[in-house]
Structure 1
């Protein structure tokens, strides 16, 4: 009887320890799986942000190529349009208002009027030149704001590549379709 009293608790102890070990090992495996999944997710986020910074990075479109911002000697403003920021805007004019120094956006009737560094001429047009994906256009009100990737506003000598058409400034727009 004494042996029986001793063996039963030992067997119960062994069984409970083995099931606890099995539960611990299952919990540990699950924890490792979660850690690996989270590590992969964080790694993807870091790689995506690095790709984005390399893609748009500190380079600015100045009409005839891209220049690193630190090597830039002219007055250029770049606005990178993020999808979460553009929600709620019906026009790119609404979005740009107040985001670019020296760019005045006013609503005249149903369209927007853009002026870079004030009124430059009494007799001729004071509208800047609009370049969308490398093509000169007359107006940008037709663009869907969620299709726009970035907007560069050229203000001084960097507009010389466009000749007299760029005398009142140039607004260069890159759409998401161009990058795809």
Structure 2
């Protein structure tokens, strides 16, 4: 009986050693990275998620903006994504500390306002949807109250207007659409129009409206 007990204890000891070694090696492969999440005005940014090489990493983030994450030493890029300020990243070379500095809230608002004004100026250049299409679709020409798409100096088929798809639906007329309502305009030609059959023979103009 004593021999059996000794064998059991010996086997238990032998199996325990590899487990401790693996655990120890795993711990050694991880390093702590910490620092501050702030904007250009020195204010804390706390709505941040971290990832390394496209894999999300758990983080401890305090109200002061300081953070702490555990990284595998094989990590190469550390990314910090703020839902309000965008993304910042660093090349990870084993350093223990790194700060991520985002645009200030004021700068973000100014950029949004600047882009909004640019879009408004762009839209206000057009008196109607046809002028907007002529400016944004290469090869488009005005033909009275309709549009034709040309290839060089010739239309694709008998000077007929293209198929208009607005928000995914075929539309007979686009005259009612205001330039201010348009989010984007795209065009499909040739083999890209096969899904529309003969209706798309003269090209397809895709219009997406603002929600």
TM-score by length of 2: 0.44
- 1:89 aligned to 2:126? yes
From 6, 25, 42, the equivalent of 2:107 is 42
1:150 is paired with a residue whose SS is: strand
- Tell me which protein shows more helix as a share of its residues: 1
Shift of 1:156: 1.7
Counterpart position of 2:170: 136
1:116–1:155 contact (8 Å) kept in structure 2: no
1:116–1:128 contact (8 Å) kept in structure 2: no
Counterpart position of 2:141: 104
CA distance in structure 2 between the partners assigned to 1:157 and 1:45 by the alignment: 43
Aligned CA distance change for structure 1 residues 40 and 98 (closer, same or farther; 3 Å): closer
Q: Deviations over 1:76-108 (max 9, x none)?
A: xxxxx93320114221111222432222224x1
Tell me how many residue pairs correspond in the alignment. Answer: 108
Please provide the CA RMSD for this pair.
3.1
CA distance in structure 2 between the partners assigned to 1:89 and 1:45 by the alignment: 25
Aligned CA distance change for structure 1 residues 143 and 40 (closer, same or farther; 3 Å): same
- Tell me which protein shows more strand as a share of its residues: 2
Structure number with higher relative contact order (C-alpha < 8 Å, ≥ 6 residues apart):
1
TM-score by length of 1: 0.50
Q: Please, which runs of 5 or more residues in structure 1 have no aligned partner?
A: 1-34, 53-80
Q: Please, which runs of 5 or more residues in structure 2 have no aligned partner?
A: 1-40, 44-102
- 1:119 aligned to 2:184? no
Aligned CA distance change for structure 1 residues 149 and 159 (closer, same or farther; 3 Å): same
